[in-house]
Structure 1
Amino acid sequence: MDKEKVLEVRDLKVSFKTYNGEVQAVRGVNFDVNKGETLAIVGESGCGKSVTSQSIMRLIPEPPGWIKSGEVLFEGKDLTQVSEKEMEDIRGKEMAMIFQDPMTSLNPTLTVGKQIMEGLIKHQHAEKHEAKERALEMLRLVGIPSPETRINQYPHQFSGGMRQRAMIAIALACRPKLLIADEPTTALDVTIQAQILDLMNELKEKLQTSTILITHDLGVVADVADRVVVMYAGKVIESGTVEEIFYRPRHPYTWGLMGSMPRLDLTREKRLNPILGTPPDLLSPPQGCPFAARCKHAMKICQQQMPESTSVEESSTHQVNCWLEHPMAPAVEPPAEVAGGGSK
């Protein structure tokens, strides 16, 4: 039985106009999000993760950015074709976003309570007293102590972890069907990060909200995600379940991500294994595999042509875009420190 799809992204292409030319930030991205699951999108800074998420929410500033082509189907409706007024009705009500830095996302001139109530009054036409009760309920749900006091306080009176919890409360107030979390734990210390991840897992179970988690932290992915999409240079180069990506990664770039994670079970000399080189210039992206210039297994075909998506071992979920999957390619095994999911 097929899972119910909440979101389908089909061949999404997003560019930005600059003085030097067109930056092709997202170059034909495809993925789905099923009801009640968490999909993690991972990759280096600049790979197109945040641009993809902002394009789904139609938050790309136009100009200089624009969606060149593709579809973003939310419950069957193509969001690239709806008006800005329709998107205003969808944002906050049907889909919501938690941004990377809560201090710049929260309004410093409004109390946290008013910011939670705002969406309830606008989208659910709640009376003021109903909205306040709901805001108190949300503050309790996300674990903020003394909600009756905190509801009247301003963002600067909250700690970093509490501000992030407040952002989650605002995003979830209208019970959206899709939540996009863009690096929700980056600015937090490890203890608070663990609490926020536990909270997101708990809320997913309670509310059955579908989540897209944008991150470069594979430890976070292992903790909360069901499926993973690996992006590089504006393209999806591997996707699969958490177990498939962590225990049976097939793309050399995914191997590099795994190998660059800190490991406690290795000697000091071998503890970090960075990916050498730099990502390609997306003003003039390569015609072949974008990782070819940094890949020690690259072949001539890799420079010339982008590989098609291939199912790994006839799996319906594990897909990889790599010429090493071709029957005529040499057999290449992942590095020893990556094989078997050691980096998890």
Structure 2
Amino acid sequence: MNNIGGAARTADSLISSQVKAGYKVSTVVLTYLDLSWTVDFKAGEEVIIMKVSGSKFNIGGPIHQILIAKQLSQVITNQKPDLIICHTAFVTKLYYLSKLFIGSISIPYISYIHSDYISESMAKVKADSIKAVIHNLSISIDSWINLTAIKQASGLAFVCKTLSERFLHLGLNHPRIAICYNPVIADQNNPSLNSTAKSWLSNSQLITFVSAARFHYPKDHKTLLQAFAKASETYSNIRLILLGDGDLETDIQALANSLNLRDIVLFAGSVPNPRAYFSLSRAVILASTFEGFGMVIVEAVASGVTFIASDCPVGPREISEVLKCGTLVPPSDVNALAAAIIEHVKTPPEKIDRSEQIERLFSESSCAENLELLIQQIIC
């Protein structure tokens, strides 16, 4: 597994459940972060940390990835597991490459797909130029390796049904597939709110929305800010709290300033428990152009509030349908998102109670049980 997005948190939950079920589990973590972050990572009887170079969104180029795969092959050869679960398509690719080295051993593996990397790959395609042609060829080769690695897996786990169907359209008709919705994990952290956020959320004269998303291009903060600026022309008492961090944070702050949103949009940083903010907001907004699932809007509903989300290829529509709530708008549509925000301001606050559906579909036990069924198909 690697430490990108919510995959690590979900994996940690699943591994804890597997240990309780009697499995002996070793966890291999690929991290670009300072090793101090791993002190809270407790899943598995043994945790093996592989420090790699890179950033949150780019762990090295092809040569570096091959070197990581070689190191991974040595770890696996030493561990000799009965089954490997590769969290994310990227880790699946690394394991597939690791099997090519002399002396490595071949182990049945499950590819656990957490993200819509199909849309992500398409988004990385550049316009025509010699440099772009080389770049696009590299993406095509990488995508082919990814799909080959996934197709050869002993089983596939997807975080939602829509994501599995998206892969089926590519001809990935695998006999062993499990749908494992990411679990809503209770967070024991109850930190004090940002002082400005607290004043907004407690002010009955203000209507405050929250968005929790890393500052990365698929999250489309540009459309969100432009829509919010447009909505504020109609209602000056609306506020927006942005939770998260990321490579584009400085650019998004500059955009907020250029749109004269300095006094009504708050950059509150990354917080350990966003649900403390969600529960006091009018609604949670997710403006992504693509998602692996969009767990943040499930957490919003678990907090008792509704959501506004872009109807991107994977995630929000499925969540809206199974939980029977939420407002969907076309991706990257400033006018539609602004209209949705205005509609929420015009109507009374909507408190959501979907506790039964959350427990049935998004509990840690439900996710673990679905994965367990897939594991038993492979090892029995």
The TM-score normalised by the length of structure 1 is: 0.31
The TM-score normalised by the length of structure 2 is: 0.28
Instruction: For CA contacts below 8 A with separation 6 or more, give which structure has more relative contact order.
Output: 1
Q: Between Structure 1 and Structure 2, which shows a larger proportion of strand residues?
A: 1
